[in-house]
Amino acid sequence: MQGEWAGEMAGPDVWEACRELIPAGSVFAFLAEHREALFPPSMFADMYPSSNGRPSMPPQVLAATVVLQSLQGLSDFETVQELRCDLRWKAACGLGLYDMAFDPSLLTYFRRRLRHSADPMRIFTKVKEVVAATGVLKGRQRRALDSTVLDDAVATQDTVTQIISAIRRVIRDVPGAQEVAAEHCCAHDYTDPGKPKIAWNDEQARAALVDALVTDALNLLGHLPERELGEKAANAVGLLALVAGQDVEPAEDSDGRDGRWRIAQRTAPDRTASTVDPDARHIHKNRTRHQDGFKGHVSFEPESGLFTAVAVTGGYGPGNHEAAVARDLLDGEDGELTVLGDSAYGTGELREQLQAEGHILVIKPPPLRQVVPGGFTIDDFRIDPAAGTATCPAGHTANLGQVKADGARTAQFKRLCTDCPLRGRCTTSKTGRTLNVHPQHALLTAARREAADPAWQAEYRRWRPPVERAIAWLVAKGNRRVPHRGIIANNIWLHHRAAALNLRRLINLGLTRTGTTWHLTPATA
């Protein structure tokens, strides 16, 4: 059942006794003063539906603790130590001087209740309501979009470790799997917590081990009793099937039917990086920087310095691309926005949708690829979709082909390039230039022309860079590495982090409360 504040403290009230020691204008002082108004007990009533049982710690105390924890980037254990020993934390959370706080596991239970509630992001939502009440975003319609890679909280595993770990998990979680493993799995002692004892510098020994482990995995999967599995057991079976096949291929002289395997000479596009956190992925933010983890996405109002939306997604797949997530980040915004973003948001599909909704786009268009360095690009061709033709810089005209499944069309100049004097600047192909026309070609062409306008460039350079600062705030104090496993838990964490940063920003802007109204009172010189 939901706990209520009884009014009795363990020792003197820290806020009343030590107010002068708490930095004025800090998040600590603000929470000490307005904690109950910011997080009223009714806000958490649905998370504690039962009226029976032992009363919980008042959820407003836990909410204030989560805000400070997210702001400082602390573990649960470190957070409780601060609550026990730091006067600022005691004052902010309403604890007495001698209060020993609570066990760190209580924060885990609170996050679990949040996760399974109707509104897991309610702390971020509440701070957004405060932002709306102050009117700080009124008339400020710019939204800068960006993403960053967040490192996972687990160690990246090699193929051998993944397969062994997944087999152990099936043996542990699936009914009847232990007997099957004892009969059919002999590549390794899966009760031994260490790695197999082989000569790891021997290539043939490593290859034989991989072959035997994959065989064990397939034997285990193939001989499991046929029965309906619960969620935990089904996940274990699915994970084993995934890791047993993602890194291997049939042996060099095998037709794939004789059960001989080797490490694949490629990397699976959506490779699972660890069985401890199956949601983590290999992410290439650019050609030189490779990380394992998740993508963090933000929508930021650059003038006020406030996050309007955040999200954590997987690191691979079209549904997790910046342009796809942008639509969700801007969902629920009122009025006409000026949307700023780098070339990752410059897809034709996103442009088409945002323009249809009446937004102004200051999004950097993707760079054009030049077939020949310093040569012609698609902008040097005249494309007439209505007539179905494309005319090259030399004046040759070719027909556009049939519309493909993705809406693109192709023009093949072939023999028209044979004696063309401009061929050296156009193509290196022996068969002539082939021109691929994007479904939103006209839209992207117009965007490139607009991006060359000095006024557009001034707007982009003035308001796009602040989102880089926002990302720096977000990942500061070790928060580049997420604290939890899985997309859902880390998405909630990122919302808490953004809520804490927004609250700090509002306090710096002069957030206060008069009666029942939140408003900003700028500091006077």
The pLDDT tens digits for 458-517 are 999 999 999 999 999 999 999 999 999 999 999 999 999 999 999 999 999 999 998 889
CA atoms of 365 and 350, how far apart (whole Å): 12
Q: What pLDDT was estimated at residue 525? A: 45
Q: What pLDDT was estimated at residue 6? A: 59
Residue 273: HSE in the Cβ half-sphere, 13 Å Cα cutoff: 22
Q: What pLDDT was estimated at residue 185? A: 92
Q: What pLDDT was estimated at residue 269? A: 81
* Secondary structure class of 202 (helix, strand, coil): coil
Strands (E) located in 273-375:
281-284, 290-301, 306-313, 338-341, 360-363
Q: What pLDDT was estimated at residue 328? A: 94
Q: Which residues of the chain have pLDDT under 50?
A: 525
Q: What pLDDT was estimated at residue 268? A: 80
**Buried b vs exposed e over 398-418: b needs ≥16 C-beta within 10 Å?**
bebeeeeeeeebbbbbeebbe
Q: What pLDDT was estimated at residue 263? A: 84
CA atoms of 377 and 224, how far apart (whole Å): 58
Residues in the chain: 525
- What are the backbone angles phi and psi of residue 517, rounded to the nearest 5°? -120, 130
* Secondary structure class of 458 (helix, strand, coil): helix
Strands (E) located in 324-431:
338-341, 360-363, 382-384, 389-391, 397-399, 409-412
Q: What pLDDT was estimated at residue 321? A: 93
pTM: 0.90
* Secondary structure class of 358 (helix, strand, coil): coil
In the block, residue with structure tokens 């590495």: 481
Rg (alpha carbons) of the chain, rounded to whole number: 29
Instruction: Output the CA–CA distances (angstroms, integers) from residue 240 to 221, 235, 237, 349, 459, in the order listed.
Output: 8, 9, 5, 37, 51
**Buried b vs exposed e over 4-41: b needs ≥16 C-beta within 10 Å?**
eeeeebeeebbbeeeeeebeeebbbbbbbbbbeebbee
Give the β-pairing of 338-341 and 360-363.
parallel
Q: What pLDDT was estimated at residue 253? A: 77
Cβ neighbours, 10 Å, residue 143: 24
CA atoms of 340 and 458, how far apart (whole Å): 12
